[in-house]
Amino acid sequence: MSNKKALIIIDIQNDFCPGGALAVPGGDEIVPAVNELSSLHKFDKVIATQDWHPPGHISFASGKDKEPFSEVKIDGVTQTLWPDHCVQESEGADFHPDLDLKPVDLILRKGSDPNIDSYSAFLENDKKTETGLHHYLKGMDIEEIFVCGLALDVCVYFSSLDGIKYNFKVNLIRDVSRGIDQPQGSVDEVLGNMEEKGVVITDSGEVKKHKTKRV
Ligand code: VGL
Ligand code: ZN
């Protein structure tokens, strides 16, 4: 057992914060707590993900004659249509300006295939195209991951479940995550599903009690 741990910070980008194109309520509130966690030297690796879509991405409602947040079937895959967000190199795709990137070892971009959405940090929504993150983590001997960020009921959720699929011990840091909660109740539903699949729901206070990594 290596006991090595990674912190995975999901999509703390301007578009997911108040004022952004796909704002998550209170999305910016978690930034100070994320900064504190990432700088504590508890984690062997810190990864930050960035939703990174080309203009006209398959997940965008605009140009499809559909309302944002409606669902469509594309090649048998259910796709939620979102307001245009996190367009590559736009300000909305930038990390929140207060997010401390100094402790971040790896920035992983996802969602750049124009025809496949990618909620999870591990697998795109076709459930087979890999981002490569599990190879990186396994290669670094990481056994346990701590997931936090935005949005709890979308990318944080799918990343956590795929972490279980790849046999990591997965912890969701509840107080350092915020959800869209549309439809209302989604956050509670995904928390229940995560627990059922073996994700440990924890909070930053508990995480701070963990041993500091060997340096
Ligand atoms: C996300 C919806 C669309 C997320 C990304 O980061 O949770 N949600 N793209
Ligand atoms: Zn997206």
Residues acting as catalytic residues: 11, 110, 155
| Ligand 1 mutation target, pool 22, 58, 152, most atoms within 8 A of CB | 22
Ligand with minimal distance to 50 CA: 1
Rounded Cα distance, 96 and 100, in Å: 9
Residues with CB under 6 A from ligand 1: 11, 16, 51, 82, 150-151, 154-155
Give the CA distances from residue 137 to residues 129, 163, 166, 172, in Å, rounded to whole numbers and listed in that order: 17, 10, 10, 17
Ligand with minimal distance to 79 CA: 1
Rounded Cα distance, 173 and 202, in Å: 5
15-61: per-residue pLDDT in tens?
999 999 999 999 999 999 999 999 999 999 999 999 999 999 999 99
Give this prediction's pTM: 0.97
Rounded Cα distance, 150 and 140, in Å: 25
Q: Which two tokens stand for residue 160?
A: 């956590």
pLDDT at 98 over 90: yes
Q: What is the per-residue pLDDT for 200? A: 98
Spell out the residues 6+ positions from residue 76 whose beta carbon is closer than 8 angstroms to its own.
none
Q: Structural domains in the chain?
A: 4-54+92-207 (3.40.50.850)
Q: What is the per-residue pLDDT for 64? A: 87
pLDDT at 115 over 70: yes
Start-to-end Cα distance in the chain: 17
- What is the pLDDT averaged over residues 98-110? 98
Å from CA of 140 to ligand 1 middle: 27
Name the strand (E) or helix (H) holding 173. Answer: strand 169-178
Atom of ligand 1 lying closest to residue 153 CA: 7
Q: What is the per-residue pLDDT for 131? A: 98
For ligand 2, an ion, list residues with CB under 5 A: 51
In eight-state DSSP terms, residue 28 is G
pLDDT at 95 over 90: yes
pLDDT category of residue 139 using cuts at 50, 70 and 90: very high
Residue in 4, 3, 2, 24 with CA at minimum distance from that of residue 13: 24
Atom of ligand 1 lying closest to residue 59 CA: 3
Residue with structure tokens 């062997």?
Answer: 44
pLDDT category of residue 182 using cuts at 50, 70 and 90: confident
- Percent of the chain residues past pLDDT 90, beyond the cut: 90
Rounded Cα distance, 213 and 3, in Å: 9
Q: What is the per-residue pLDDT for 114? A: 96
Query: Of the ranges 38-47, 161-170, 205-214, which one carries the lowest mean pLDDT score?
Result: 205-214
Atom of ligand 1 lying closest to residue 49 CA: 6
